[in-house]
Chains A and B, each alone.
Chain A
Amino acid sequence: MDVNQLQKRFIDYTTTLVQEGFLDDQFNQLQQLQDESNPDFVFEVVSVFFQDTDRLLNELGKTLELQNVDFKKVDAHVHQLKGSSSSIGAQKVRNVCIAFRNCCEEQNIEGSLRCLQQVKHEYSLVKNKLEYLFSLEQQILAAGGSIPTWNE
């Protein structure tokens, strides 16, 4: 595939992700922050998001397995996840976090466990899609092209 096709695919793919609700406008905003002085910005931010989320999901799993669930702790973790998913535009993940926090408020263990499953699911979906997007980026750069920007 030549550079132009790759670039088109990149744009189409990002657009689809936004249309399908996986990503929201915040992700576009992040892409706009990327420039020559900060060429890997989006990749770096998303990488931190992946690391952070892996850690949080792990903690959440442990906390919810205990005999006496400490919902304050659970809520604190979900709050973090909500914040970071919001910051990168991972809309579906963030939306599950909102429901998750409601479960915490109600001290609902079953609901919380369901939410945890859901958030893990949404996270793995968006992670796969973002990883694919980054691989497209790599291909574009390797072919000598530049990543399309969103300043319409």
Chain B
Amino acid sequence: MNTLSGFPVADRRRSWGGFKTLNKEDPLSPQTFSTSELINLIVSVEDTGVGIPFEAQSRVFTPFMQVGPSISRIHGGTGIGLSISKCLVSLMKGEIGFVSEPHIGSTFTFTAVFSSGHSNSDEYKKKQISKQPKFVSSEFQGLKALVVDSRLVRAKVTRYHFQRLGIHVEVASDLNQAISCLTSVTPTINMVLVEKEAWEKDTELSDLFVVELRKYENSDPLKLFILANSIISSKTSAAKSACYTPIVIMKPLRASMLAASLQRAMGVGNKRVFRNGGLHLQSLENLLHGRQILVVDDNKVNLKVAAGALKKYGAKVECVDSGKKAIELLEPPHQFDACFMDIQMPEIDGFEATKRIREKEHNINEHVIQATHEECLKYGMDGYVSKPFEDNGRWFSGMHCDARLLSVLPNRRPHGCQTGEELMCIAWVAVSDC
């Protein structure tokens, strides 16, 4: 299935089938061609959700209409989102449409007319330059990566991210192909990234792959990464083998975190330069200054280090040493903007604490929480950071300014050549540091 998710989707072409703006044959329709001043954009959003029942489809843009009474109870909302969208689209001289198939998903498409941004071209260029993130990406220039992924569309996205860093990408659809790539491809490969799916498919094959990898390495050690959007099962036997512990890079890929993970793993470039010129420390200060943060860890040393790191950027930190106390302090209403919580704690662990906190906040019925992700996503966590905390910008790179709780995943690094630091689970901040 040639889609990003690998699941079937509703055919997007049917979502814009009725658009007048695309219908060149109708002489009466208002045609909005793109000119040098005006640009007609078309945007399509495709999901693999539950879809909209056919009998409800005609009233989808009607204000206050939802598919059924259960929607507002489960998902919230008042049913005016789409009618507002339709008004906005119309004000922007566009059209909106959709196609939806129950149990497959929906695709919504709209057009809108924008004026060209290049009319003030000098100003535009200046803005671009000042916003340019200072990635220390030149050190990756010319490196070569082998990506192992059976899904073409997904591999394309991965390739895009690597090419932004100047890394050339070769794609293999599975580990077998990857093994033949290793021997036949020139110039030599510097790193291998394997999609979690491909890695876990066959443990014997992944073991074999590791063996081949070791044969392939000569002077430069080859780094192996697993691309995952959730925790890798600890049963992966290759992970337990002494010297080849694959490093996990979390998806979705973000340029800054990718650069940081690669730098750390490959030790490329001058570490000091990275630390100062890497992620914008000023934006970290902006992000954290004045924020009230709760740190939860039963280990007093870790609490102190975490608090010190956060305070450095101007945050106001409160520390507690148990899940129980965290639940008490995070009882709504409270003043905290973010919470850093350890997973492994006695009595009430991080998962359980987060689950209870979430329940109080959203009154979510446990059955509704989709159990499609790993354990901690189920409990409402959405990001992870590894301890010990390091005072460099990259470990906050995933932080979002709004107060949404982000998911957190624990990542217990297996024993071996790498240090086995425990990972802290964080609510509200997604940070990955392999």
Mark A residues whose CB is within 8 Å of B: 26, 29-30, 32-33, 35, 37-38, 41, 44-45, 48-49, 52, 76, 79-80, 82-84, 86-89, 94, 98, 101-102, 151-152
A98 contact from B276, B301, B420, Cβ within 8 A: B420
Asked if B300 is at the interface of the complex by the 8 Å CB criterion, the answer is yes
A49 to chain B, nearest CB (A): 5
Determine whether the beta carbon of B415 is less than 8 Å from that of A98: yes
**Which residues of chain A have C-beta atoms less than 8 A from B391's C-beta?**
29, 32-33
**Which residues of chain A have C-beta atoms less than 8 A from B305's C-beta?**
30, 45, 87-88
Given known pairs A38-B308, A102-B415, the reply for A82 and B272 (CB within 8 Å) is no
Given known pairs A82-B420, A98-B420, the reply for A87 and B388 (CB within 8 Å) is yes
Q: In whole angstroms, what is the CA distance A107 to B189 when docked?
A: 42
- B388-404 Cβ-contact flags toward A at 8 Å (1 or 0): 11111000000000000
Q: Name, among B304, B312, B346, the residue most crowded by chain A CB atoms within 10 Å (CB to CB).
A: B304
Asked if B156 is at the interface of the complex by the 8 Å CB criterion, the answer is no
Q: Name, among A29, A88, A152, the residue most crowded by chain B CB atoms within 10 Å (CB to CB).
A: A29
Q: In whole angstroms, what is the CA distance A44 to B421 when docked?
A: 22
Mark B residues whose CB is within 8 Å of A: 272, 276, 298-302, 304-305, 308-309, 311-312, 344, 346, 387-392, 415, 419-422
A33 contact from B298, B308, B344, Cβ within 8 A: B308
Given known pairs A44-B304, A45-B305, A48-B304, the reply for A84 and B311 (CB within 8 Å) is no
B137 to chain A, nearest CB (A): 22
Given known pairs A83-B422, A98-B420, the reply for A35 and B387 (CB within 8 Å) is no
B301 contact from A45, A79, A102, A151, Cβ within 8 A: A45
Q: In whole angstroms, what is the CA distance A84 to B216 when docked?
A: 38
16 additional A-B pairs beyond A86-B387, A101-B415, beta carbons within 8 Å, are A29-B391, A32-B391, A33-B309, A38-B312, A41-B308, A45-B301, A48-B300, A76-B346, A79-B344, A80-B298, A83-B299, A83-B302, A83-B387, A84-B301, A86-B419, A87-B301
Determine whether the beta carbon of A83 is less than 8 Å from that of B308: no
Determine whether the beta carbon of B415 is less than 8 Å from that of A49: no
A to B CB contacts below 8 Å, 21 in the list: A29-B391, A33-B308, A33-B312, A35-B312, A41-B308, A45-B305, A76-B346, A79-B344, A79-B422, A83-B302, A83-B387, A83-B421, A83-B422, A84-B299, A84-B300, A84-B301, A86-B387, A86-B421, A87-B301, A94-B419, A102-B415
Q: In whole angstroms, what is the CA distance A101 to B412 when docked?
A: 14
B302 contact from A41, A76, A84, A89, Cβ within 8 A: A84
**Which residues of chain B have C-beta atoms less than 8 A from A94's C-beta?**
419
**Which residues of chain B have C-beta atoms less than 8 A from A41's C-beta?**
308
B388 contact from A26, A52, A152, Cβ within 8 A: A26
Determine whether the beta carbon of B301 is less than 8 Å from that of A49: yes
Q: In whole angstroms, what is the CA distance A87 to B298 when docked?
A: 13
- Select from chain A the residue with minimum beta-carbon distance to B303: A48
B242 to chain A, nearest CB (A): 12
Q: In whole angstroms, what is the CA distance A41 to B310 when docked?
A: 13
Pairs A-B, 10 closest by C-beta atoms = A84-B301, A87-B388, A87-B305, A33-B308, A45-B304, A49-B301, A29-B391, A87-B302, A83-B299, A26-B388
- Select from chain A the residue with minimum beta-carbon distance to B388: A87
A29 to chain B, nearest CB (A): 5
**Which residues of chain B have C-beta atoms less than 8 A from A102's C-beta?**
415
A152 contact from B272, B344, B389, Cβ within 8 A: B272
A16 to chain B, nearest CB (A): 19
- Select from chain B the residue with minimum beta-carbon distance to A27: B388
Determine whether the beta carbon of A38 is less than 8 Å from that of B299: no
Q: In whole angstroms, what is the CA distance A48 to B304 when docked?
A: 8
**Which residues of chain B have C-beta atoms less than 8 A from A101's C-beta?**
415
**Which residues of chain A have C-beta atoms less than 8 A from B392's C-beta?**
29
**Which residues of chain B have C-beta atoms less than 8 A from A151's C-beta?**
276
**Which residues of chain B have C-beta atoms less than 8 A from A29's C-beta?**
388-392
A54 to chain B, nearest CB (A): 12
**Which residues of chain A have C-beta atoms less than 8 A from B346's C-beta?**
76
A98 to chain B, nearest CB (A): 6
Q: In whole angstroms, what is the CA distance A46 to B297 when docked?
A: 17
Q: In whole angstroms, what is the CA distance A109 to B60 when docked?
A: 68
**Which residues of chain A have C-beta atoms less than 8 A from B421's C-beta?**
83, 86
